Amino acid sequence: MDFVITWRELLIAVVLATVVYLLEAIFLSHRKGRAGLPSQSALLRELADLRQEVAGLRQRLDRLTEPNFSFSQEEDRRDPLAAYDEAVTFARQGLSAAEIAQRCGISTDEAALIVVMQKRNA
């Protein structure tokens, strides 16, 4: 018994294999793309953190642009590491990175790093 494949059958098989391959590639890339996206609640938390940070920066800018502002004010004379010492204390108390950043006048990323380091040390 001879097994013979015509050109037409071969062409149909190649087209079908290509379609299956493309559908699989599209499905996997779509699935992979969704897995890498942050959730809506994570995006909302990040937006709230950014708003708090912008509000803090606005307050700092307002203080800097006051007519009688002086670089020798008490805030600028204190130990530059004091904010980080306070941040470590707040992290040990369980405050969130956003709260620590707002209270200590440091960035949210710095506060998040301090929180992570305190969790590791605990």
Domain ranges of the chain: 1-37, 40-121
Task: Give the closest residue to 56 by CA, choosing from 106, 12, 95, 2.
Answer: 106
Cα 89 to Cα 10, 79, 109, distances in angstroms: 72, 16, 17
Amino acid identity, residue 13? Answer: A
- Please give the pLDDT value at position 89: 92
Amino acid identity, residue 32? Answer: K
Per-residue pLDDT tens digits for 11-51: 899 999 999 999 998 888 776 665 566 677 878 888 888 88
Distance CA(33)–CA(3), nearest Å, equals: 44
Which DSSP helix (H) or strand (E) runs through 32? Answer: helix 7-36
Per-residue pLDDT tens digits for 96-120: 999 999 998 889 999 999 999 988 8
Pair 115, 89: CB distance under 8 Å: no
How many residues are given for the chain? 122
> How many Cα atoms within 13 Å fall on the side-chain side of residue 19?
6
- Please give the pLDDT value at position 33: 60
Q: In sequence order, what are the residues at sequence separation of 6 or more whose Cβ sits closer than 8 angstroms to the Cβ of residue 90?
A: 99, 100, 103, 104
Mean pLDDT, to the nearest integer, of 2-6?
Answer: 80
Q: How much is the CA Rg of the chain, to the nearest whole Å?
A: 29
Per-residue pLDDT tens digits for 45-96: 888 888 888 888 888 877 777 777 665 554 555 566 788 888 999 999 999 9
- Please give the pLDDT value at position 95: 93
